[in-house]
Every structure is written in C-alpha cells, then in structure tokens.
Amino acid sequence: MNIQPITLEGQTIRLEPLHHRHAADLTEAAEPILFQHHFIVPEISVSGFERYIDTINNRPASLAFAQVLQETGKAVGCTTYMDIQALHRGLEIGSTWLAKAWQGTRVNPEAKYLLLRHAFDDQDALRVQLKTDSRNTQSQRAIEKLGAVKEGVLRNHIIMPDGYIRHTVLYSITREEWPQVRAGLEARLGISS
C-alpha cells in the first residue's frame, strides 16, 4: 500500500488533492452547522479555509481531497484518507463534509465509491474504516447505506473542541466484503463494471 496524491474521476464528482485553490469554493459551500461534529472546525472565510487546508494537509498519515463537481469545477466539500497504515494495508475515510445542497445526492456515494475502489482495487487494502460522532445519525445512516459493518462504539473516545466528550461509532469494510459493497454502490450509482 502506497497512498500518494491522486485525482479520482467519477461521473458527477472529481476528488482532487486538497489545495489552497479550493479555499474560495469551500468558503461558499460551507456553513457552521456542517462542522458541528468535526474535530477540526474552519473559520468560514477564504483565509480560514486556507488555514484549515494547511491543518488537514499537515496531519500525519493522511491525504485530503476536495470534492469537485465535474459539471462546474467548483469544490463543494472535502474528504480524507486518514490513519493510513501501509504496513497493515488499512486506512480510514473521514473528515468528510459536503455542502447542504449536495447532501442526499449521488455526490457522497460516488466519492466513497471512488475512495473505496482506489483503496481496495489499486492499493490492495485489507480494511477501510469509517468513524462518526454518536450524535451524528445522518452520517451513521449514510455509512450503513454504503454497506459498512458497524463494529461498535468507542466510548469517551475524544474531547471535542467545545469540551464535549464524544462517543465514536466505528464501521469497517474488509477486503472480503468489498465485492458485495462495490456491487451495491455500482447498482446505486448506475455504473457497470
């Protein structure tokens, strides 16, 4: 497993390595409520997003992506490969947010499909995990709809910036489960493999 910066192309969305050039678009797309369950919360301004991008890009063992609409070329959110464990052939998909206008569309499932396909098919991953705040039921439903398996709850897992002690719900997809998850996502997205 050797995760390097790459652009992943879908029909609706393109995942590009996160860069300062995305800051203005992300400022337009963002609103504070989108970050209520996030550990890293940007100031909603171009300079705030430039700092956010620097923070995300400087985290060890991670690779952040802007979610860019194919039709307009505008970034409407972010997602990240995190906790990349090359030796153990695993990683996490997280720090994902998406403009409200694009929630519930094909953008999120297509982005997850691109990330999962790259991890399992190109990088020979054994495991991909996803975590979310126990209060974030919308995220839990979206992760479950992907076909990820709920492994449990990490109790008192992290202290949020506002002091809240967060319980984290942990999900995963293994190499053995990927063919079924892939087939479900392809059917959902109308993609023939």
The answer to whether the CB of 75 falls within 8 A of the CB of 101 is no
Sequential pLDDT tens for the chain (193 residues): 899 999 999 999 999 999 999 999 999 999 988 888 887 888 899 999 999 999 999 999 999 999 999 999 999 999 999 999 999 999 999 999 999 999 999 999 999 999 999 999 999 999 999 999 999 999 999 999 999 999 999 999 999 888 999 999 999 999 999 999 999 999 999 987 6
| pLDDT value, residue 36 | 84
| pLDDT value, residue 193 | 62
Contacts (Cβ under 8 Å, ≥6 apart) of 32 = 41, 44
| pLDDT value, residue 162 | 87
- Give a three-class secondary structure readout of the chain: CCCCCCCEECCCEEEEECCHHHHHHHHHHCCHHHHCCCCCCCCCCHHHHHHHHHHHHCCCCCEEEEEEECCCCCEEEEEEEEEEECCCCEEEEEEEEECHHHCCCCHHHHHHHHHHHHHHHHCCCCEEEEEEECCCHHHHHHHHHHCCEEEEEEEEEEECCCCCEEEEEEEEEECCCHHHHHHHHHHHHCCCC
| pLDDT value, residue 142 | 92
* C-alpha to C-alpha distance for 93 and 125, rounded to whole angstroms: 12
- Nearest residue to 98 via CA among 84, 111, 87: 111
The answer to whether the CB of 90 falls within 8 A of the CB of 125 is yes
- On whether the pTM is more than 0.85, the answer is yes
